[in-house]
């Protein structure tokens, strides 16, 4: 899947993007995010988040051909401000990215606290990785019925990616 190959580039892009509303306890429990559903068009996403989501003009075209076409400027989760971006593949919603660290530096303690908030929602993560050979990088992943949730950290930034599930037979 092209989107899977683009996740590292998208993470780098998300870290350069610059916020998102209070989360309900069941938010994204399936892997989708709030009212967003995989395969929605930009217009459907905008209707699903009235008064919050806006069309990004111009949309941002990623190297893999996907586009960042809509966003929410401020969303709060676990007391942390996030900027939300909706990523479309072939005009259909494929990924929701929440990025923190655009307003102020975000430390590892925020990553740990958000991990607990997400674990309350999704259960224990399926995988957790850490690499501090060069820089402190951490990630936890939850595989849900209708998608995957990744919580990622590098000093100063946190990214939460909600992505559609891989088709059967594809590696993650």
Q: Would you give per-residue pLDDT tens digits along the chain (172 residues)?
A: 444 444 444 444 443 333 333 334 344 456 689 999 999 999 999 999 999 999 999 999 999 999 999 999 999 999 999 999 999 999 999 999 999 988 889 999 999 999 999 999 898 888 989 998 888 999 999 998 889 999 999 999 999 999 998 766 665 4
Q: Determine contact, residues 136/143, Cβ cutoff 8 Å.
A: no
Cis geometry, peptide bond prior to residue 58 (ω within 30 degrees of 0) = yes
In a domain, residue 169? The reply is: no
- DSSP assignment letter at 164: P
In a domain, residue 126? The reply is: yes
In a domain, residue 110? The reply is: yes
In a domain, residue 143? The reply is: yes
- What is the distance between the alpha carbons of residues 10 and 15, in angstroms, rounded to a whole number? 8
Look at the chain and report how many structural domains it folds into: 1
Query: Model pTM?
Result: 0.79
**End-to-end CA gap in the chain:** 9
Predicted pLDDT at 29:
52
Residue 64 belongs to domain spanning? 2-159
In a domain, residue 109? The reply is: yes
Predicted pLDDT at 166:
76
Predicted pLDDT at 20:
34
In a domain, residue 165? The reply is: no
In a domain, residue 172? The reply is: no
Residues whose CB falls within 8 Å of the CB of residue 16, separated by 6 or more in sequence, listed in order: none
């Amino acid at each position: 899947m092209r989107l899977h190959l683009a996740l590292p580039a998208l993470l780098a892009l998300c870290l350069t993007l610059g916020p998102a509303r209070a989360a309900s306890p069941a938010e994204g429990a399936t892997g989708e995010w709030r009212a967003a559903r995989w395969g929605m068009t930009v217009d459907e996403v905008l209707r699903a988040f009235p008064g919050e989501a806006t069309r990004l003009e111009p949309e941002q075209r990623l190297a893999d051909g996907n586009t960042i076409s809509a966003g929410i400027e401020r969303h709060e989760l676990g007391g942390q401000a996030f900027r939300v971006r909706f990523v479309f593949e072939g005009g259909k919603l494929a990924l929701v990215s929440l990025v923190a660290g655009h307003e102020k530096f975000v430390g590892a303690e925020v990553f740990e606290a958000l991990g607990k908030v997400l674990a309350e929602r999704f259960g224990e993560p399926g995988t957790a990785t850490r690499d501090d050979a060069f820089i402190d990088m951490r990630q936890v992943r939850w595989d849900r019925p209708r998608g995957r949730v990744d919580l990622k950290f590098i000093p100063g930034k946190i990214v939460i990616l909600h992505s559609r599930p891989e088709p059967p037979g594809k590696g993650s």
